[in-house]
Amino acid sequence: MKREAMLGRIRERTDPNAPWDIAVIGGGATGVGVAVDAASRGFDVVLVEAHDFGKGTSSRSTKLVHGGVRYLEQGNIPLVMSALKERGLLRQNAPHLVHDLAFVVPNYSWWEAPFYGIGLKLYDLLAGKYGFGTSKLLTREETLERLPALEPEELRGGVVYYDGQFDDARLLIHLAMTAVDHGAVLVNYCPATGLLLGEDGYVSGLTTCDSETGEELRIPARIVVNATGVFTDSVRRMADPAAETLVVTSQGIHLVFDRSFLSGETALMVPRTNDGRVLFVIPWHGHTVAGTTDTPIDAPSLEPRALEEEIDFILETAARYLSRPPRREDVLAVYAGLRPLVKGEGKTSTLSRDHVIHVDSSGLLTITGGKWTTYRHMAEDCVDHAITLGRLRDEPCRTRSLHIHGYVDALDEPLRDDEPLAVYGADAGAIRAIAAAEPALSARLHPDLPYIGAEVVWAAREEMSRSVEDALARRTRALFLNAGAAAAMAEPAARLLARELGRDDAWIAAQVNEFLTVARQYTVVRD
């Protein structure tokens, strides 16, 4: 995935009489999923991302590949079944990135065991042949054995069930690489700046600008897909300034703590918090992640900030269930993400998580809503619509059994803390080779995190990492795990990137400054 080569292919293809089949705007799970689907069907695909792949919502999730126990309670059986099936397909196609995780719902009242026990049996049933494990009731002792960090007072027992867990930004990068492996062109730091209109008045492509050089480029395309998440309406208004609002935004935040707050390999699931939401406390990459919230937001931004009341809410709710209540000073990182929700009646927490395909009168094809877990199904639906709308040749979807970049046959224990390169799957060997060729690159960049210099070099050479933030937030997950440690890694990472990308000392200094500004937002104690 070489950026200059990608830009070269865009420059070669500006003749409106020889357009791309599909141009995608937005490099999150939705847009990159569409690029994978379309490229694997044999279409000519180009994707432009305004910032970095995954800079938006797709790196800021709860990291669950799940059917959504909550949607079961809302009675949305089709969404749960579709998500459970996608969960199974994703584990089959990316076993290096998706693994099973046991969740315990603790019971403190007499009615909870039968209530959640029956609900979770239905969850097992709906998964059918895509099941991850059978739920069962636990005694008080069994519950504490699985979750020793649980508050024991008045605990009666629990219910254990199984779902999937993943690394969202890593999967996204591997999906981008999958699309490239199938011939697609994907480029970051190239915002769509406008839509081209043909003589018939329909959208016939887009304009973009390389943020690094200021070069303007035209991309003619039979179909333009708008997959810009919470920015959906601003792109729709490039063609129709009067377009009605389709998407509303709701923020969810997560707090990250030391691993000791949740010892063991089991996650905690609180099915009903004070505000009627679900709270997860999960083990992830050797840390503990707790979230999330649901706060309506007026104006979306690329770097949303956690509100103080959201931080307090998670700390207070987690304290009710953990025997050692986490305090503000225990927070290693806080991150916020914005849900693109399809507009409807009622609170954002009750809005549907189904996806929506919308066609504007300009012919712009928009796909939005949905979940990370269902990205493949969303992409299939979107490309089916693109084929009809763009009069493309009929090609069947191939992603149901398409291996995702990095695929390796059955990993014994993917995502093991002592095997940090496991998430790279088949690429791990190449990273080890970089470290072997230059032993200094096998050293950790910070003692509290497993990341080594060779990963930054690999990110620059093969994964289109252009900045310290790309390398520390999305190619590795340092910023999301421990913002203080990530800040300390900024300078060594900048030096490695500068060497790879041919940058000077002024670039290094500017990169470190920029990253420190971003990293400050991922800490709860702010200047």
Ligand X SMILES: Cc1cc2nc3c(=O)[nH]c(=O)nc-3n(C[C@H](O)[C@H](O)[C@H](O)COP(=O)(O)OP(=O)(O)OC[C@H]3O[C@@H](n4cnc5c(N)ncnc54)[C@H](O)[C@@H]3O)c2cc1C
Contact between 252 and ligand X per CB under 6 A: yes
Return the closest-CA partner of residue 229 out of 172, 302, 278, 294: 302
- How far apart CA 66 and CA 85 sit, in angstroms, is 9
The count of chain residues that interact with ligand X, using the rule CB under 6 A, is: 38
Closest approach, Cβ 492 to ligand X, in A, equals 27
> End-to-end distance of the chain based on CA atoms, in angstroms?
38
Closest approach, Cβ 173 to ligand X, in A, equals 13
- Cα–Cα distances (Å) from 373 to 147, 256, 487, in that order, read 26, 22, 31
Provide the mask over 14-33, with x wherever binding to ligand X is found by CB under 6 A and - wherever it is not: -----------xxxxxxx--
Closest approach, Cβ 291 to ligand X, in A, equals 6
Q: Which residues pair with 106 in a beta bridge?
A: 158
Closest approach, Cβ 140 to ligand X, in A, equals 29
Token pair in block for residue 469 = 């933030």
Within residues 42-61, the interface with ligand X by CB under 6 A covers 48-51, 55-58, 60-61
Closest approach, Cβ 254 to ligand X, in A, equals 7
Question: Do 46 and 192 form a contact (C-beta atoms < 8 A)?
Answer: no
- Cα–Cα distances (Å) from 181 to 25, 112, 212, in that order, read 19, 49, 25
Closest approach, Cβ 246 to ligand X, in A, equals 12
Q: Which is nearer to ligand X, 21 or 49 (CB)?
A: 49
Cβ-closest position to ligand X? 28
Q: Which is nearer to ligand X, 138 or 187 (CB)?
A: 187
Token pair in block for residue 356 = 């929506």
Closest approach, Cβ 431 to ligand X, in A, equals 25
- How far apart CA 94 and CA 397 sit, in angstroms, is 18
Contact between 228 and ligand X per CB under 6 A: yes
- How far apart CA 423 and CA 506 sit, in angstroms, is 33
Contact between 205 and ligand X per CB under 6 A: no
Per DSSP bridges, beta strands 365-369 and 216-226 are: parallel
Only one residue has tokens 């099915």, namely 271
| DSSP SS3 for 287 | strand
Q: Which stretch binds ligand X (CB under 6 A): 106-114, 267-275, 334-342, 446-454?
A: 334-342
Q: Which is nearer to ligand X, 57 or 135 (CB)?
A: 57
- Reading phi first (left if > 0) and then psi (alpha if -120 to 50, else beta), residue 459 is in alpha
Q: Which is nearer to ligand X, 338 or 486 (CB)?
A: 338
Among 67, 95, 229, 283, binds ligand X (CB under 6 A): 229
Contact residues for ligand X, defined by CB under 6 A: 25-31, 48-51, 55-58, 60-64, 191-192, 227-229, 231, 235, 252, 292, 302, 337-340, 370-373
